[in-house]
Amino acid sequence: MFSATSSLLQVLRFPSVIDGKTVYKIGKLAFKDKSIKEIIIPASVESLGTKMFRDCKGLKAAYIYGKDVSIGEDFFLGCDKLEAIYLSDEIKSVD
């Protein structure tokens, strides 16, 4: 199982497969208060939870590669140092 429990994460390259199963969804508040500087979300992910990165104060960049991705409300709430968000040209909805 994938875990992001460390408070010292620098770059989080989220896997597209965990335990032999394709990752389609990442739940709400999944990385709340984590010290992540950069997040890379693979094309397999179709749904990103509400407030997924709430209060990730050190987050500077996010790369989201999916084409049919639904991004939850207040996805980057409290990410005060966020400088860049790279989205696939094919993302269909951002709440």
At 60, the pLDDT band (50, 70, 90 cuts) reads very high
Structure tokens at 62: 């996010």
CB 66 within 8 A of CB 88: yes
Closest listed residue to residue 77, CA positions, set 32, 14, 25: 32
At 91, the pLDDT band (50, 70, 90 cuts) reads confident
Q: Is residue 59's pLDDT more than 90?
A: yes
Whole-number Å distance between alpha carbons of 12 and 32: 13
E runs forming strands in the chain: 11-13, 17-18, 21-22, 25-26, 38-41, 47-48, 61-64, 70-71, 84-87, 93-94
pLDDT tens for residues 24-52?
Answer: 999 999 999 988 999 999 999 988 899 99
For residue 88, the model assigns a pLDDT of 84
Whole-number Å distance between alpha carbons of 4 and 71: 20
Q: Give mean pLDDT, residues 3-26.
A: 81
